[in-house]
Structure formats: structure tokens, C-alpha cells
Amino acid sequence: MLPLCLAILGLISSSPCTAAPPRDYVSDLQSVLTTSTRNKLLLISFDGFRWDYDRDVETPNLDKMAQDGVKAAYVTPAFLTITSPSHFTMLTGHFMHSTR
């Protein structure tokens, strides 16, 4: 049993050594900015917006944009009561607690 535990401990402790090298985000950004076939994204986020508020008033322009594009039927926020961490998560794909 001890050799198995030591083998597992060795695998766990050596896993950070096998991590991918850090990415060069500056060159990634430059390559994206110089690409001529960039797609455009417009993200509209409402702070303090209850799920049924869009039914209370007429919003023909927003309705047209939702018809022509994509509208999320349901969203689970990364952080329920504060908007900024949820925006951070949407834009980066990382949760606030996973950054340094």
C-alpha cells in the first residue's frame, strides 16, 4: 500500500512540472488584430436586470438584434450579486478566484 501511495504522491507533485509553457498573449493579440477576417461581437449586459424585464416595455431594436443574432435563453452568473466578476468571467473564461 505504501508504494502505491508514494507513486500517486509522486504523480501529483510532478504534475506542475508538466504544465504548458506560458502563452505569449501579446503576439496572440497582434495576430488577431492583423487578421482581416475578424468577426465582430457585441455583448449587451444589463446590471440588475430581472429575467422578465424585457417583457415590460417595447424594445423593437433589441428584439431585432436578438432575432438576427444570438440571445441567451438562460445564464448562470459566475457571481450572483456583483456584476463585475461575471463580466470578467465572460470576457476571459476564468473565474475571479482562479487568477493571481
Catalytic machinery residues: 83
Distances 72 to 1, 21, 43, 75 between C-alpha atoms, Å:
51, 35, 11, 7
All residues at 6 or more sequence positions from 52 whose CB lies less than 8 Å from its CB, including other chains: none
**What value, to the nearest 5°, has the Cα angle with vertex 66 and ends 61 and 70?**
155
Query: How many C-beta atoms lie closer than 10 Å to residue 86's C-beta?
Result: 20
